[in-house]
Amino acid sequence: MSKSFEATIPEIGGRLSRRKFVVAGAGSVLALAGGVGPALADQKPKVGLVMKSLANEFFKQMQAGAEKYAAANADKFEFKAVGMKDERDFAAQVDAIENFVTQKYNIIVVAPADSKAMVTPIAKALKAGVRVINIDVELDAGAKKAAGVDLAFFGPDNRAGAKLAGDALAQKLGPGGKVVILEGNPEADNAVQRKKGFMDSVADGKLQLLDSKTAHWETEEANTLMTNFLTQYHDIQGVMAANDSMALGVVKALDAAGLSGKIQVVGFDNIPAVQPLIKNGKMLATVEQYGADMAALGIQYGLKEMAGQTFTGWVKTPIKLIEAKDLT
Ligand code: ALL
């Protein structure tokens, strides 16, 4: 069953770069018999997707992409997607993993909200025989090592992505341009990487960094933080937001101060809500990271693992800078 099962799962888009992953062990009856996990071999595998905030359009798109893929492959696996009510509803992710384990899911695809704290429930799931696929936010290497967990990461180069957006801003402002950074949730590795990428642009573009603080990926918090930045600094020329939810809050603050279009804003995600803002000049750029495909690809990799393949290291997913010229 392993080979034909795998062969019937279509690849989505073929956009992934697979340079960095290692495939060990061919699909075999033996591997499959030992690897089906909690459900019986003659049942359809159960796949659970654990996302972060469903108030964030990025995850709404991810959910829609995964559900479309699951509907097209309904004969091959059962599917359920869950998320958090907001960006800091961490306990909901832990509960979601535990529930999927209790309900004997075979595969859990997860975008961890906290790179360290999520290692414990994931280690428990692995112990119970569940295949876990880590997408979007990489788990912390030290925490994985301490828990004896060896999991591949399926996701983008967040540092390089932020640098794309940061460089677009640097080019627009020129050396000496005064900027602020709105960081994501510091517990998440991709927030840390994006800050590093923005700092790379600050250094390379000889920008002047006035301040850098977290708004925890949230629109309202970003709105408040940006309003405070405007009171504190009177010469801000550019803003780097680690995701588009926060860029929306920034633009709202700039609108209220009559400064939108005058202060340049870059974000990350390319959610539908920022596209009109990029077209009308209230934002300069964002970064597409193909969230709608990411979870679907995670499901495919989970099914491949059930068929006996092993993935280690980093399976890179694509990123692309989006400016007004890319949106027609
Ligand atoms: C990250 C995603 C998105 C998103 C953020 C908020 O993991 O990559 O950029 O906006 O989570 O939770």
Strand, helix or coil for residue 6:
helix
88 confidence band (pLDDT: 50, 70, 90) = confident
- What value, to the nearest 5°, has the Cα angle with vertex 129 and ends 127 and 134? 80
The overall average pLDDT reported for the chain is 89
Residues 271, 59: Cα–Cα separation, whole Å: 10
Ligand 1 mean position to 76 CA, how many Å? 29
Residue 184: the pLDDT is 98
Q: Helices 90-102 and 119-127, interaxial angle, to 10°? A: 0
Atom 6, ligand 1: which residue's CA is nearest? 217
- What value, to the nearest 5°, has the Cα angle with vertex 227 and ends 185 and 271? 50
Question: Of residues 126 and 43, which shows the higher confidence score?
Answer: 126
pTM: 0.88
328 confidence band (pLDDT: 50, 70, 90) = confident
Model confidence pLDDT, tens digit, residues 238-287: 999 999 999 999 999 999 999 999 999 999 999 999 999 999 999 999 99
Residue to mutate (ligand 1; options 269, 317, 319; most atoms within 8 A of CB): 269
> What is the full DSSP assignment across 159-196?
HHHHHHHHHHHHHHH-TT-EEEEEE--TTSHHHHHHHH
Structure tokens at 133: 């696929």
Q: Which residue has the tokens 């509960």?
A: 95
Ligand 1 mean position to 155 CA, how many Å? 11
Residues 225, 230: Cα–Cα separation, whole Å: 9
pLDDT greater than 60 at residue 13:
no
Closest Cα to residue 106, out of 46, 192, 174? 46
Atom of ligand 1 nearest to the CA of 137: 7
Residue 42: the pLDDT is 61
Residue 30: the pLDDT is 31
Question: Of residues 242 and 3, which shows the higher confidence score?
Answer: 242
Mean pLDDT of 77-85: 96
Give all domains of the chain, ordered by start, each with its CATH number.
Answer: 6-155+291-316 (3.40.50.2300), 158-288 (3.40.50.2300)
41 confidence band (pLDDT: 50, 70, 90) = low
pLDDT greater than 60 at residue 7:
no
Structure tokens at 93: 């992710």
Model confidence pLDDT, tens digit, residues 139-184: 999 999 999 999 999 999 999 999 999 999 999 999 999 999 999 9
Contacts 24+ apart (CB under 8 A), 279-282: 279/324, 279/327, 281/324, 282/251, 282/254, 282/255
Phi, psi angle pair for 242, to nearest 5°: -75, -10
Atom of ligand 1 nearest to the CA of 111: 7
Atom 10, ligand 1: which residue's CA is nearest? 243
Ligand 1 mean position to 243 CA, how many Å? 6
Ligand 1 pocket by C-beta < 6 Å: which residues? 52-53, 56, 58, 87, 111, 136-137, 190, 217, 243, 245, 268-269
β-strand 310-316 against 21-24: which pairing, if any?
A: antiparallel
Residue to mutate (ligand 1; options 85, 135, 217, 289; most atoms within 8 A of CB): 217
Mean pLDDT of 14-31: 33
Q: How many residues are there in the chain?
A: 328
pLDDT greater than 50 at residue 16:
no
